[in-house]
Amino acid sequence: MEGALNDEPGIYVMFEESCEDVVDQAKEFGWDLEELGSENKLVINSLSPEDLRGVIDKIKSLSAGIGAKRLVIDSLSTVMVYVAIPMEGGLIKVEDLVENRFDIFPSIIGDSITRRTVHSLIQQIKDINLTSILISELPKESSYLSRDTVSEFACDGVIFFIISISFSLLCCVIYLGIQWKV
């Protein structure tokens, strides 16, 4: 929001929500995303995570269209669910292997496929030259900072949020060479 309000147009890409849902949720905070969109300060786009090449191409196109400076991708966790695994006879999607998609990292996908996909995606995003935030979920009691166990090493920084409803605690700790804040 701050970027869009300060002449730094941005792109918000999500894979599991509709644009209408995001616009409605933003209204609860008093943000008029439709107005920012009409002024070419913000583009909100719901894309399919199944085609990473298409996602990157769309981000490049949107970026060129509004002169974007910022990008949010929500979420990297969803992208990793749709990674296709090369198998004899073609590609198989991870989502086709199990019903409960979010309990499979990284064992079924395999470390090398996860690493290759995450590094490739992050590098392609860096090549577009946008200040970017990639949202990722974290399983409870994980010793990693992302569900895929790799992205925290491929990116330039990690912002780690803990929200505890019972104690109304919001804690923000920033890792990887960036100053700590609590």
Residue 172 in domain: no
Tally: H helices and E strands in the chain: 7, 8
Residue 166 in domain: no
Burial class (CB in 10 A: 0-12, 13-18, 19+), 69: middle
Alpha helices in the chain (DSSP H): 2-5, 19-27, 33-38, 52-66, 76-81, 111-128, 151-154
Report residue 23 as tokens: 């616009």
Residue 26 in domain: yes
Buried b (16+ CB within 10 A) or exposed e, 3-24: bbeeeebbbbbbbeeebeebee
Q: State the total domains in the chain.
A: 1
Which CATH number belongs to the domain containing residue 10 in this structure? 3.40.50.300
Whole-angstrom Cα distance, residue 23 to residue 44? 9
Residue 162 in domain: no
Residue 181 in domain: no
14-57 pLDDT, tens per residue? 999 999 999 999 999 899 999 999 999 999 999 988 888 889 99
pTM of the model: 0.74
Residue 36 in domain: yes
Q: Is 85 helix (H, G, I), strand (E, B) or coil?
A: strand
Residue 145 in domain: yes
70-84 pLDDT, tens per residue? 999 998 888 877 766
Q: At what angle do helices 52-66 and 111-128 cross, to 10 degrees?
A: 10
86-135 pLDDT, tens per residue? 555 655 555 554 444 444 444 445 566 777 778 888 888 889 999 998 88
The domain in which residue 80 lies consists of 2-156
Name beta bridge partners: 148.
Answer: none
